[in-house]
Homo-oligomer: A and B are copies of this chain.
């Protein structure tokens, strides 16, 4: 953990940030290592001091994005004095807001998905993505189960399928956010979420 360690880590971080921007704009395959190097302010060859290959670099961007984005938003401690359904709503809105505020979040995600779609890279990238999906889903499942234990959520609700749908909802809204001009994922969520979550409420 000497000073060198810090420098290397800093350079790695700078490269990851630059790579995220470049991959988001041009896509994984179209982006070049030189564009990444330029964006990071280092020489082309130096990228290889931190990452063994373009794929490794993209994978690292993927990893960091998943950790930062989903992780931060997800594991944020939330006030436990509100109901779980409110907490779920809060979480979803937080995530969509964060995505809306980050101009590269969506195109980068679309690129991740595409790499998961390609046979050659499916195993490596898909596994990581699945993990993150599962973490998110588990978080919702936990909340819902707590809600059932507390009598807030209808015990008849099939917890995991509903949690999967909630996760799917977020991803799907982001696609529309990117594609449809004037569409806001968080606003749509705000308007539509109440009646939907209502259905889960015990009564």
Q: Does A157 contact B (CB under 8 A)?
A: yes
> Which residue of B has the minimal Cβ distance to A126?
B179
Chain A contact residues, majority secondary structure: helix
Stretch of A9-17, A69-77, A162-170 on the interface side: A162-170
Query: Do the beta carbons of B179 and A168 come within 8 Å of each other?
Result: no
Q: Does A124 contact B (CB under 8 A)?
A: no
Question: Out of B27, B164, B169, which one reaches A29, CB within 8 Å?
Answer: B27
Which parts of A121-160 form the interface with B (CB within 8 Å)?
126, 129-130, 133-134, 154, 156-158
A-B pairs with beta carbons under 8 Å apart, 23 shown: A24-B117, A25-B119, A26-B120, A27-B29, A27-B114, A27-B115, A27-B118, A110-B113, A113-B175, A114-B114, A116-B178, A116-B179, A126-B179, A133-B179, A158-B192, A158-B195, A161-B192, A164-B173, A165-B169, A168-B171, A168-B172, A169-B169, A195-B199
